[in-house]
Amino acid sequence: MRTDTGQVFRLEDYRPSDYLIPRTELSFVLSPDATQVTATLAIRRRDQRAQAAPLVLDGDGLDLRGAWLDGKPLPEADYSATSDKFILHSPPEEFSLTLETVIVPSKNTALMGLYRSNGVYCTQCEAEGFRRITYFLDRPDILSVYTVRVEADRKEAPLLLSNGNPVENGDLGGGRHYAVWYDPFPKPSYLFALVAGDLGVVADRFVTASGREVALGIYVEHGKQARAAYAMDALKRSMTWDEEVFGREYDLDVFNIVAVSDFNMGAMENKGLNIFNDKYVLADEETATDADFANIEAVIAHEYFHNWTGNRITCRDWFQLCLKEGLTVYRDHEFSADQRSRAVKRIAEVRTLRAHQFPEDQGPLAHPVRPRRYREINNFYTATVYEKGSEVVRMIRTILGAEDFRRGMDLYFERHDGEAATIEDFLKAFEDASGHDLTQFALWYHQAGTPNVSVTSSHDAIAKTLTLQIEQSVPPTPSESRKRLMHIPIAFGLVGPDGRDIAYSDADGAAVENGVIHLRKRKHSVRFSGVAERPAVSLNRGFSAPVTLSVEQRAEDQFFLARHDGDAFSRWQAFNTVMTEALIAASRRILDNREPGFSPAIAELAGAIADDESLEEAFRALALTPPGEADIAREIGTNIDPDAIFAAREALLRFVARANAERFQGAYGHLAKTGPFSPDAASAGRRALRNVLLDHLSTLPEGARMASEHFLSATNMTDRAAALTVLAHRHPSTPEAGKALADFEKTFGEDALVMDKWFAIQAAAPGPHAVETVKRLARHPGFSLGNPNRLRSLFGSFFSGNQTGFHRADGAGYTLFADTILDIEKRNPQVAARLATGLRSWRSLEPKRQELARQALVRIASTTGLSADLSDIIERTLA
């Protein structure tokens, strides 16, 4: 484990490296306990007139066994080597350096560099894992052409893969064999990959638009090939889509994906050899939910799209991470929107953004989409860099329009293919292609915090005008107290009494273009003429800007928009706002020992939505889902009491279900009739709606029996997991719940990925017993502290998905938090640091819980020898 040195890296300190490595030859002789790595690097000085500076290569925990310069042993006086640096004191202008190191994959529990997962050798190098394999200029602006030779025991590893195209393989006798791979595209070290093991394959082919034939392979555990069929289908659809929508073709003869079961995150876009967490590859109706299918489609697409946005054009330095990540998330969002329902996809994206990015932006870990400093880059693979980064690209498209956006993308590819680029390069391509000035817009990359837009409206019936007073503000964030004014594109509509958008004759006060108000100043007064009747104002349609809105509006306008807004996102938003406001008021009343008190209009609207066949089922399912407990807490902002919020939410579900019992029962029964399983969006939508209805109806008497029947009659994992959640969360002490949990365990006990759902559902079960449940489950034979998926499903679900259980008033959840994180950190600092963000919103809690949470954080902070990963998160959280 690399302990914290406290070193801070700054964007303004970027300097190009003195040396380049145009070619890299790697040779691996694999063995679990002593893998020999020989690297021969062709190195040359960047500036031939410059003085010979020492060459300093990065390492991390390396053991050097030999060094040669131009093939001759290097005299000891000419270099120095430690486990984390190799220094050649006075290198010639151009030379070849051969370094031999020995590494121990079987002991690599951090899962960075070369490690073993279920007996398979695999690698993870982004961001700085390559230096755990060999000494190198391990930075993204050093692009090199790689040749890789892999040698292994044929029985242990019949399959030998690396980046690029296969060029040679053969037998070495004594049960050993080898393969050589050559990747003609210069790439940074973080994209290096190697896999060796015994795996099954699903093979297919793809012919690109220009007729290049590509051999596709998805490698999975033997016997699981059938579960990779959906991933293969998603891959081929992604390849076609990128050609059609972005004009991007694949460029190698092969494209391989390998699924492994021990992986720190979702997947990795290594050139020609993507390595995936098997959770994002394996799916069939028996074992995966509709959400799993959708995630697989999105992650397969995301990693594939990186081939152009990330690999062909990479990042100059790690501060530019959003250059590849935000853009590639935007691309995978667009892909899923085209494959499924655009409106439903957009609502889901915004829910995710608000659940993950908003609390980050509003708490102690806030940072700009392009950060200016970091201590540990692994901690910057955040919702801000990814999701807000994607929103920023989406706003560029809104501002430029679809055609100029595409022209800008084309120019970006044309100018920077084969280079390591910056956000400035990216923005310049759009400015040059469109003639727009994006100077003010660029603040979205540089300034942290979620802007707030507040709006009031006034209608003058005699003058037939509608005036909007709009004001923007950006709250202070850590180390940025003063903020500059942003360019915020707010899409809007004025909805008339007949439910249609009113055509206004002109608008002044701000640049209003194609239904978008462009805020650039602190205050805008926008007047629309020719507006005879007072409209309901629909703002931030399609969530055109990632902001919070404070709108002074009559309650009946929200109800009206929830029924009539022509923009599906805003229609969903209107009902969501109605419910959020009702829940906040109810939780306050509950704290005062009063009845929650909901308006019958809410139940009526919910009933109307459930029955409205003009709306897609998936949309209705989303609309009928009340905001989650964390969403409500975020809106309340301070002095949070999770128990009151939970009680209010349960009361709302019951209130709506009671008022609509018959209607919901009818729809629930009707939706039960389906044909054979299909993972497509429409079928998934029907299941989602039926499961949301179950969630409501299960609050009524006989709820446990109904959920139990749902569970027992389920023919797919979506329905089974939904019923199990209702039982374990709402009716935990019933025999039905106990039986369902036991049945599930019996059926799927051997399937770790499926058991993750069983762990996650129980860890998220609300109430004071959750702490004990989680401790008990941590001793379950199917649980393992070494596997990141298990950790996320048990502890991640508890810390981030169980508001009442984790935030138990006596602080027992926080004690478990500190104990667990310190324990995990010993083997895997990266995963420990990620889980530790579970307390980032501790300052919003009510005072007693806040103090207990602080004590747990301080206990972690005062532990000696913390990793850079964990101490960075904890110190920023406490700052």
Q: Which residues bind Zn ion (CB under 5 A)?
A: 325, 328
Closest separation in Å from C-beta 325 to Zn ion: 5
Residue type at 835 in one-letter notation: L
Q: Does 60 bind ligand B3K (CB under 6 A)?
A: no
Write the binding mask 267 to 286 for ligand B3K: x where contact by CB under 6 A, - elsewhere: xxx-----------------
Q: Which residues pair with 641 in a beta bridge?
A: none
Q: Does 303 bind ligand B3K (CB under 6 A)?
A: yes
Closest separation in Å from C-beta 754 to ligand B3K: 24
DSSP state of 228: G
Rounded to 5 degrees, φ, ψ at 538 are: -100, 115
Token digits of residue 488 = 């915020």
Instruction: Report the residue number, 284 or 869, with the smaller CB distance to ligand B3K.
Output: 869
Token digits of residue 261 = 């079961």
Measure the CA–CA gap between 309 and 852, rounded to whole angstroms.
Answer: 44
Q: Which of 544, 461, 535 is nearest to 496 (CA)?
A: 535
Choices 298-306, 470-478, 609-617, 727-735; region in contact with ligand B3K by CB under 6 A:
298-306
Measure the CA–CA gap between 259 and 666, rounded to whole angstroms.
Answer: 43
Q: Does 869 bind ligand B3K (CB under 6 A)?
A: no
Closest separation in Å from C-beta 782 to Zn ion: 30
Choices 289-297, 300-308, 443-451, 741-749; region in contact with ligand B3K by CB under 6 A:
300-308
Closest separation in Å from C-beta 430 to ligand B3K: 22
Q: What's the Cα-to-Cα distance from 426 to each of 168, 277, 288, 437, 711, rounded to whole Å?
A: 39, 30, 38, 13, 50
Instruction: Report the residue number, 128 or 616, with the smaller CB distance to Zn ion.
Output: 128
Catalytic residue of the set 221, 297, 303, 387: 303
Q: Does 265 bind ligand B3K (CB under 6 A)?
A: yes
Closest separation in Å from C-beta 259 to ligand B3K: 15
Instruction: Report the residue number, 126 or 360, with the smaller CB distance to ligand B3K.
Output: 126
Residue 268 binds which one of ligand B3K, Zn ion, none, with CB within 5 to 8 A depending on kind? ligand B3K
Q: Which of 488, 553, 480 is nearest to 518 (CA)?
A: 488
Among 311, 378, 447, 877, binds ligand B3K (CB under 6 A): 378
Residue 127 binds which one of Zn ion, ligand B3K, none, with CB within 5 to 8 A depending on kind? ligand B3K
* Contacts of ligand B3K in 104-133 (CB under 6 A): 126-127
Count interface residues toward ligand B3K (CB under 6 A): 12
Residue 677 binds which one of ligand B3K, Zn ion, none, with CB within 5 to 8 A depending on kind? none
* Contacts of ligand B3K in 314-343 (CB under 6 A): 325
Closest separation in Å from C-beta 257 to Zn ion: 14
List, in order, residues 6 or more apart from 231 with CB less than 8 Å away.
218, 257, 280, 281, 282, 283, 296, 300
Q: Does 262 bind ligand B3K (CB under 6 A)?
A: no
Alpha-helix residue ranges (DSSP H) falling in 661-787: 661-672, 681-697, 703-713, 717-730, 735-748, 752-763, 770-777
- Closest residue to ligand B3K, based on beta-carbon distance: 126
Instruction: Report the residue number, 270 or 422, with the smaller CB distance to ligand B3K.
Output: 270
Whether the bond between 127 and the residue before it is cis, its omega within 30 degrees of 0, is: yes
Q: Does 384 bind ligand B3K (CB under 6 A)?
A: no
Token digits of residue 154 = 């044929």
Measure the CA–CA gap between 856 and 357, rounded to whole angstroms.
Answer: 24
Token digits of residue 827 = 């083997």
Measure the CA–CA gap between 551 and 649, rounded to whole angstroms.
Answer: 24
DSSP state of 480: B
Among 9, 95, 206, 381, binds ligand B3K (CB under 6 A): 381
Measure the CA–CA gap between 22 and 60, rounded to whole angstroms.
Answer: 22
Instruction: Report the residue number, 320 or 328, with the smaller CB distance to Zn ion.
Output: 328
Are 394 and 473 in contact by the 8 Å Cβ rule? The answer is no
Instruction: Report the residue number, 766 or 788, with the smaller CB distance to ligand B3K.
Output: 788
Element (H, E) at 602: helix 600-611
Closest separation in Å from C-beta 329 to ligand B3K: 8
Q: Which of 694, 696, 718 is nearest to 707 (CA)?
A: 694
Choices 56-64, 260-268, 624-632, 789-797; region in contact with ligand B3K by CB under 6 A:
260-268
Report CA Rg, the chain. Answer: 28
Choices 171-179, 299-307, 574-582, 603-611; region in contact with ligand B3K by CB under 6 A:
299-307
Question: What is the signed CA dihedral for 17, 22, 28, 33, rounded to 10 degrees?
Answer: 0
List, in order, residues 6 or more apart from 462 with CB less than 8 Å away.
none
Are 134 and 39 in contact by the 8 Å Cβ rule? The answer is yes
Closest separation in Å from C-beta 386 to ligand B3K: 7
Residue 378 binds which one of ligand B3K, Zn ion, none, with CB within 5 to 8 A depending on kind? ligand B3K
Residue 691 binds which one of Zn ion, ligand B3K, none, with CB within 5 to 8 A depending on kind? none
Closest separation in Å from C-beta 303 to ligand B3K: 5
Instruction: Report the residue number, 322 or 721, with the smaller CB distance to Zn ion.
Output: 322
Closest separation in Å from C-beta 219 to ligand B3K: 18
Choices 63-71, 264-272, 527-535, 543-551; region in contact with ligand B3K by CB under 6 A:
264-272
List, in order, residues 6 or more apart from 116 with CB less than 8 Å away.
32, 105, 106, 108, 122
Measure the CA–CA gap between 60 and 5, rounded to whole angstroms.
Answer: 14
Are 393 and 444 in contact by the 8 Å Cβ rule? The answer is no
Token digits of residue 100 = 């031999």
Instruction: Report the residue number, 325 or 869, with the smaller CB distance to Zn ion.
Output: 325
Instruction: Report the residue number, 126 or 565, with the smaller CB distance to ligand B3K.
Output: 126
- CA terminus-to-terminus distance, the chain: 24
Per DSSP, the three-state class of 203 is strand
Instruction: Report the residue number, 162 or 773, with the smaller CB distance to ligand B3K.
Output: 162
Active-site residue, 349 included: no
Residue 265 binds which one of ligand B3K, Zn ion, none, with CB within 5 to 8 A depending on kind? ligand B3K
HSE, CB side, 13 Å, CA atoms: give it for residue 76: 3
Instruction: Report the residue number, 298 or 852, with the smaller CB distance to Zn ion.
Output: 298
List, in order, residues 6 or more apart from 422 with CB less than 8 Å away.
315, 316, 320, 323
Choices 261-269, 277-285, 671-679, 855-863; region in contact with ligand B3K by CB under 6 A:
261-269
Residue 869 binds which one of ligand B3K, Zn ion, none, with CB within 5 to 8 A depending on kind? none
Q: Does 302 bind ligand B3K (CB under 6 A)?
A: yes
* Contacts of ligand B3K in 704-733 (CB under 6 A): none
Closest separation in Å from C-beta 729 to ligand B3K: 31
Note the Cα 178 to chain centre separation in Å.
37
Measure the CA–CA gap between 145 and 184, rounded to whole angstroms.
Answer: 6
Which residue ranges make up the site for ligand B3K (CB under 6 A)? 126-127, 265, 267-269, 302-303, 306, 325, 378, 381
Provide the annotated active-site residues: 303
